[in-house]
């Protein structure tokens, strides 16, 4: 976890609804992950807080359904936004994964 992600905490009163997500039965862990990712991107000045960019994508229906189930989301737009938030969150493991041969950062802690 990067120093930014370690110190990023959701703003007081921040909810998934305030991020634009519809109410659903999201598992608590996923909700925490989404709020943590949003806080890290907010702290970095990368999150505008407004869903203003319109995007049209084609996805494999099975992948979308699996992601929706895992995230506990019903709305396809929410699934795409959640996936982008989680993918964009600073994370040393993701950096290492995307750069084969690169060493893990010194402060990397393996979760057990």
Over residues 70-109, the pLDDT tens digits come to 888 888 988 999 999 988 988 777 777 788 777 777 777 7
The pLDDT value given to residue 62? 97
Query: CB–CB of 109/6 below 8 Å?
Result: no
Q: What is the pTM assigned to this prediction? A: 0.66
For 16-74, how does the pLDDT look when each residue is reduced to its tens digit (9 = 90+)?
776 767 666 666 668 888 888 888 888 888 888 788 889 898 999 999 999 998 888 88
Dist CA 51 CA 94 (whole Å): 25
Phi/psi of residue 45, each to 5°?
75, 15
Q: What residue ranges do the domains of the chain occupy? A: 3-98
The pLDDT value given to residue 67? 92
């Amino acid at each position: 976890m990067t120093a930014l992600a370690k110190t990023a905490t959701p703003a007081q009163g921040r909810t998934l609804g305030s991020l634009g997500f519809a109410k659903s039965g999201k598992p608590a862990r996923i909700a925490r992950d989404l709020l943590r990712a949003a806080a890290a991107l907010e702290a970095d000045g990368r999150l505008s807080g407004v869903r203003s960019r319109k995007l049209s994508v084609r996805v494999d229906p099975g992948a979308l359904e699996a992601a929706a189930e895992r995230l506990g989301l019903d709305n396809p737009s929410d699934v795409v936004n959640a996936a982008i938030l989680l993918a964009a969150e600073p994370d040393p493991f993701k950096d290492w994964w995307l750069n084969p041969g690169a060493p893990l950062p010194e402060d990397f802690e393996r979760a057990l």
